[in-house]
Every structure is written in C-alpha cells, then in structure tokens.
Amino acid sequence: MELSVLNNKGKETGRKVKLNPRVFGIDPNNHAIYLDVKQHLANKRQGTHKSKERSEIVGSTRKIKKQKGTGTARAGSIKNPIFRGGGRIFGPVPRDYNQKVNKKVKRLARKSALSIKAKQKSILIIEDFQMDSPKTSLYNDLLNALGLRDKKSLLVLGEPNNNVYLSSRNLGYSKVITNSELNTYHITNASSLVLFESAISGIETILNKS
C-alpha cells in the first residue's frame, strides 16, 4: 500500500511511501483490539474509592433503646447501617484494576487497528517539520490544511518534538505522541491518523518484533 507524502500545507510533495503490509495490511483481529483497549482503560483507573463500614464510623456505642417492648426492631448501635449516618454495607474499598495482556496480543491489536485505519483510508503521511516556538494557531493551520479541523486526530512523531506537542496541548480534539507511545486505544479513538514520515520506520520496527 502506497500513500502520498504531504507537506504541512496539505499539498502533495510528489513522493510516496510504501507501508509494510505485515503492519498496515493484516486481517484485523477484533478480539485482540478489545482486550488491549479494555486493559488500557482499566489500568487508568485509580481504584481509590472508599466508603466507611460500620466499624469505621465514629459514634457512641451506647445501646440506643431497650431490647424488647418498643414494638419496633431491636437496635444495638447508632452506627448500624440501617440508620442515617451509619456505616455502609459492602461498600467500595481500594483495589487494583490493572489487567495483563501478553505482548504478542498487544502487537497484534495495534497492527489490527492500523490495518483498519488503512482500509478506511484514514491515514495521512506528512513530511517532518519544525516549529520555532509553541503556537496553537500554527498547529490549527496544519489541521485545516489536512481537513481535520474539529475532528479527532492523532499525530505520531518520529522523535520527541516539544514545540509541536505544546502547540496541540490546548486542543481537545487532537493528540500528539511519538511512535514509541502509540497504542491501540489512541489509534481507535482517533478518526484520522497523521504520521510523520520519520515515524513509519519506527512503528514498523516495533510491531514486526517476533
């Protein structure tokens, strides 16, 4: 599969890049994508939720009424869960939500997600460029030139570029990462994938490991 290389004005440069079919042209495995995305979202959870149980409530331990003769149910403590201000029964406690997915499955998931984007013609290749200083308006001009303004997009760099990253940070609809940070969730969550020309070889090297 060959794609034309665009410049930062959205115009074709006359050059083309051939994408490795072992990365961008496989038969997608939807279950691998599901497992990888589920792990990514689960691992982002802090798991710090907590409610107080009966033994953790601060309050009097005095028996609040006599055992018999009241015509109502017996009650031995104001911290009883049936009373307002009492402890919570089976409430949430801190826990670890981390899940494990094998490396080969994760690589298969990323290759599957990239292959889906390639079949949908949602991948754009642009030649590397530099920004003299962080400027969101310049980054917006790039998205306008590529026809991606107000659309969810993911820009993948070949190596860290702080000015490009800082220029995109204010925008909720566009994200900038390096090729080593690329994961299945980022790929599937974006409507369009924009790859720096220098990022392609790194992606193919990472995902072609045995």
Q: Model confidence over 82-133: pLDDT tens digits?
A: 999 999 999 999 999 999 999 999 999 999 999 999 999 999 999 988 888 9
pLDDT band at 42 (very low <50, low <70, confident <90, very high): very high
Amino acid at 157: L
The tokens of 82 are what?
């049936």
The tokens of 26 are what?
């496989």
The tokens of 156 are what?
């993948």
pTM of the model: 0.83
User: In angstroms, rounded to a whole number, what is the distance separating the alpha carbons of residues 173 and 68?
Assistant: 65
Confidence at residue 209, expressed as pLDDT on a 0 to 100 scale:
77
Mean pLDDT of all residues in the chain?
92
Confidence at residue 210, expressed as pLDDT on a 0 to 100 scale:
58
The tokens of 111 are what?
């290759």
Q: Does residue 208 carry a pLDDT above 90?
A: no
Which residues, in sequence order, are CB contacts of 69 under 8 Å at separation 6+? none
Reported as type and span, the H/E element at residue 156 is strand 153-157
CATH numbers and ranges of domains, the chain: 2-45+99-207 (3.40.1370.10), 47-96 (no CATH)
